[in-house]
């Protein structure tokens, strides 16, 4: 449905630049992308998960556990690259200024109320 393997390196470069601009260049954040909703790359358990919806369009899932122990929640639907970057940059800025020492990005998003906790896969699309 959408590019993933060939596209992800260029998106990572742009995300890395945003992280660097926010003083987070060395912060480990799990990012996974797949070209379709089958989820072969396990994007649903990444702090930032991108799932292909159509050419150049992705559903963004946020807030999963760093080690994959918690599912992410849908954050943006049918987003293009500019929309993804525009949404993530302020989250990176908030993370840089408001996180607790040692806190991972997904945990911060959950604690700060920016995403909801998904307790089971059958609830991933609940409001």
- The CATH classification number of 8-114 equals 3.30.413.10
Nearest one of 114, 9, 20 to 60, comparing CA atoms: 114
pLDDT score for 55: 94
- Give the pLDDT score at 124: 81
Chain Cα centroid distance, residue 87: 10
pTM value? 0.94
Beta pairing class for 48-54 and 31-34: parallel
Q: For residues 48 and 63, what is the distance between their CA atoms, to the nearest angstrom?
A: 7
pLDDT at position 34:
95
| pLDDT value of position 57 | 97
- pLDDT exceeds 90 at position 126: no
pLDDT at 122: 80
Inform me whether the pLDDT recorded for 51 exceeds 90. yes
Q: Is the pLDDT of residue 7 over 90?
A: yes
- Give the integer Cα–Cα distance in Å for 51 and 21: 25
- Edge-to-edge, what's the strand order for the sheet holding 57-62? 31-34, 48-54, 57-62, 73-79
Structure letter (DSSP) for residue 79: E
> By the 8 A CB rule, do 16 and 8 touch?
no
pLDDT tens-digit readout, 62-121 = 999 999 999 999 999 999 999 999 999 999 999 999 999 999 999 999 999 999 988 877
> Tell me, what's the pLDDT at 120?
79
pLDDT digits (tens, 9 = 90+) for 10-39: 999 999 999 999 999 999 999 999 999 898
Select from 79, 75, 84, 85 the least CA-distant residue to 106. 75
Give the start-to-end residue ranges of the domains of the chain.
Answer: 8-114
């Amino acid at each position: 449905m959408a590019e993933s393997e060939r596209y992800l390196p260029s998106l990572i470069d742009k995300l890395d630049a945003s992280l660097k601009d926010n003083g987070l260049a060395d912060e480990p954040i799990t990012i996974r992308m797949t070209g379709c909703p089958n989820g072969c790359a396990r994007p649903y358990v990444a702090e930032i998960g991108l799932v292909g919806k159509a050419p150049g369009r992705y559903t963004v899932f946020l807030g999963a556990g760093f080690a994959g122990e918690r599912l992410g929640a849908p954050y943006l639907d049918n987003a293009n690259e500019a929309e993804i970057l525009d949404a993530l940059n302020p989250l990176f800025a908030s993370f840089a200024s408001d996180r607790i020492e040692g806190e991972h990005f997904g945990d911060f998003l959950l604690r700060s109320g920016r995403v909801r906790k998904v307790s089971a896969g059958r609830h991933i699309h609940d409001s």
